[in-house]
Amino acid sequence: MKNSFFLIAICLALSLSNLLAQYGGGDGLTEQTAFEIHNITQLQYLADMVNNSSDLNYSMDKYFILMADIDDPVTFVIGNTGMHGTTDRKFMGKFDGNMKRINLAINSSSISVSPVVNTALFSRVSNRYFSWGPESATPVYIKNLIVYGYVENNHPGCAAGIAGDIIAEYQDIIISNCINLAKITNSCLTSGNPYTGGIIGIASVNLGTNTIEVSNCYNLGTIYGSGDPGNSWGSTGGIIGRIYDNVHLFNCVNAGFVWGQRNVGGIVGGGGGSNSLTNCVNTGVIEGAGYLGCITGSGNAVITNCWWDKQICPHDD
């Protein structure tokens, strides 16, 4: 009997040791006890669990906090996108960057996760795995995160510093206090709807009356969103490439150079549905082949109290 208890104690100790090796502390159940990420190995573990775990809802309602700068080049993505199948993996938790920096060195051609069509630190963010599955109990968020380095996408799809594709269904998603210093390049030359942004590639609300809120985010990186000149849907923005239906931006600033084929804006490239931009500022140069705007390139978003430097950006909105 004593031997049995001894073996159980050893197993429990090893399990705890493994958990602490995977993360630097915490149990992930609350914001105060978030899983702690101290280094690139622990960030890689988060990516591996989101991308490969048999639990498709692994990150749902879990909390994560970055405890130190990660200066080792991050070459992987968290989540990846298929067509609602077993390869479609999404981050569905809460991530606090704690105002730490992550060095991005992401190239879609060298990522082992397949198929990758959204190239960003968080490839895809949502609050449910399937449209008919369970949704997160509380809003998904990414906040207080700084990224630098570069992101290069050569596949049909999105490129961004923080999140490639954000989809909200029956629950709000919040992106706040994030800063992109990285160079973002989307070299997709097909009709794959290349959405490119400093913070987010595309943000859309699919189901329900919930919202996506993007606030106090800044882009200082250079953004290149090439795409197919004949593709009217490709969009490039300093903050978000494209927004669709109930996406709201507050107090966001672009100071980076932004170039795209069409639908190019200092804050948002293009969009449709009921969206709004409030108290946003662009001081960056905006260039492209068509549909250019200093705040939005195209779309019908409600713009309130936004400002741009007319000497640097002479385009109308």
Establish if 68 belongs to a structural domain.
Answer: yes
Global pTM reads 0.90
Q: For the segment 27-42, what is each residue's pLDDT rounded down to a tens digit? A: 999 999 999 999 999 9
What's the rounded Cα separation, in Å, for the pair 297 and 267? 9
pLDDT of residue 54: 85
Give every residue of the chain whose pLDDT is below 70, as ranges.
1-21, 81-87, 112-116, 130-133, 189-193, 208, 227-233, 316-317
In this predicted structure, what is the pLDDT of residue 22?
Answer: 92
> How many domains does the chain contain in total?
1
Predicted pLDDT of residue 133: 66
Say whether 166 sits in a helix, a strand or coil: strand
CATH number for the domain harbouring residue 255: 2.160.20
Identify which of 191, 194, 127 has the alpha carbon closest to the alpha carbon of residue 164: 194
Asked whether residue 134 is assigned to any structural domain, the reply reads yes
Residue 18 pLDDT = 47
pLDDT attached to residue 21: 58
How far apart are the C-alpha atoms of 74 and 58, rounded to whole Å? 21
Residue-level pLDDT at 261: 86
Rounded distance between C-alpha atoms, residue 127 and residue 143, angstroms: 16
- The answer to whether residue 123 sits within a structural domain is yes
Query: What backbone phi and psi angles, to 5 degrees, belong to 279?
Result: 55, 45
17 lies in some domain = no
134-176 per-position pLDDT tens digit? 778 889 999 999 999 999 998 878 999 999 999 998 889 999 9
pLDDT of residue 17: 43
- Domain boundaries, position 168: 28-308
pLDDT of residue 8: 46
**Cβ–Cβ under 8 Å, residues 114 and 147:** no
